[in-house]
Amino acid sequence: MTAKIEVHESSGNIFADLGLPAAESHFLKAQIVAELYRLTNARKLTQNKAGEVMGISQPEVSRLFKGNFREYSIERLMAFLTAFDLDVEIVSRPRPRRAKKSDRGQIIFKPVAA
């Protein structure tokens, strides 16, 4: 006997797909942390050295990179990016006219090549 597997198309935000609270905020934080992890690896930094750059301890870096970042605000995570000598740019633009009024818009994080 085979089990039926139900498949759903993703919205692009796993946190929203799972129905978690503050899904957009958590997704943005995850994107920023992924960029911090990428920068750390690209620069061949240890977690200790990355912590020195960001102003946090090595155990905090470890927790951050393991996905435990709820305690950090988006602003603090963006400050970590600037500690890596990156500029953070926030862009606001109108949604397309064809968007439904119920659409809340989206937050998009696009890392720029270092």
- Per-10-residue mean pLDDT, the chain, length 114: 85 88 91 94 96 97 95 94 88 72 60 58
76 located within any domain: yes
In this prediction, residue 87 carries a pLDDT of 84
Task: Work out how many domains the chain is built from and give that number.
Answer: 1
78 located within any domain: yes
2 located within any domain: no
Query: Which H, E and C letters describe the chain, residue by residue?
Result: CCCCCCCCCCCCCHHHHCCCCCHHHHHHHHHHHHHHHHHHHHCCCCHHHHHHHHCCCHHHHHHHHCCCCCCCCHHHHHHHHHHCCCCCCCCCCCCCCCCCCCCCCCCCCCCCCC
89 located within any domain: no
In this prediction, residue 74 carries a pLDDT of 94
In this prediction, residue 52 carries a pLDDT of 97
In this prediction, residue 37 carries a pLDDT of 96
37 is in which domain, residue-wise? 21-83
